[in-house]
Amino acid sequence: MVGWMFFLLSLVAVSAPAGTGGQAVLQIGQGVTITSPGGWTSAADVWQVGSNAVSLQKAGALVAFGAEAYDGADRGLLADQSGELEGQLASYRALPAAPTTIAGDMPALVVLFFGSAESGRLEGELVVAARGGTGVVMLAVAPAGQLRSVQGDLDRMLATMLVPR
């Protein structure tokens, strides 16, 4: 999922306007759905994340949600995703993982991270959860100082996510 994101972020983040899209329910794989608040638009033209994921953009921030079959625990999923991030970002630093809850009652782990890429200094949030054979990932990245402008929307999307049992 991390793949092309950092290159593409440089194309989007420099002067990305606020989105104009309305609220939408999006299928992301394994029967998982998210509801994007108004103002988010598809980022599929700049960040292709595959058939079991969706990418969105707003105000210079990019976010991807993905859900795939996964038989491990959330710590393993976090290690996999964090390892990819560390390989993509120079000066990668992450705060310790903290427990959180998504989709109403699904235990998850959240990590805030910082680093740099060709587009400059970046900040991001990685949220992972695993339950019943499904792994869910949210990865949000923005130029330093801009993630907080969309944090409320990210929190809402995570809280209202629907994950089948």
Q: How far apart are the first and last CA of the chain?
A: 24
Domain assignment of residue 162, yes or no = no
Residue 152 lies in a domain: no
Give the domain CATH number at 116: 3.40.1000.10
Question: How confident is the prediction along the chain (165 residues), in pLDDT tens digits per residue?
Answer: 444 344 334 433 433 434 445 789 999 999 999 999 999 999 999 999 999 999 999 999 999 999 999 999 999 999 999 999 999 999 999 999 999 999 999 999 999 999 999 889 999 999 999 999 999 999 999 999 999 999 999 999 999 999 998
Contact at 8 Å (CB) between 112 and 137?
A: no
Residue 99 covered by a domain: yes
pLDDT at 12: 39
- The whole-angstrom separation of Cα 26 and Cα 137 is 15
161 within a domain of the structure (yes/no):
no
**Count of domains observed in the chain:** 1
Answer yes or no: is 61 within a domain.
Answer: yes
**76 occurs within a structural domain:** yes
Domain that holds residue 63: 5-146
In this prediction the pTM is: 0.87
For residue 156, being part of any structural domain is answered with: no
Please check whether residue 155 lies inside any domain of the structure. no
Query: Can you give the pLDDT at residue 21?
Result: 59
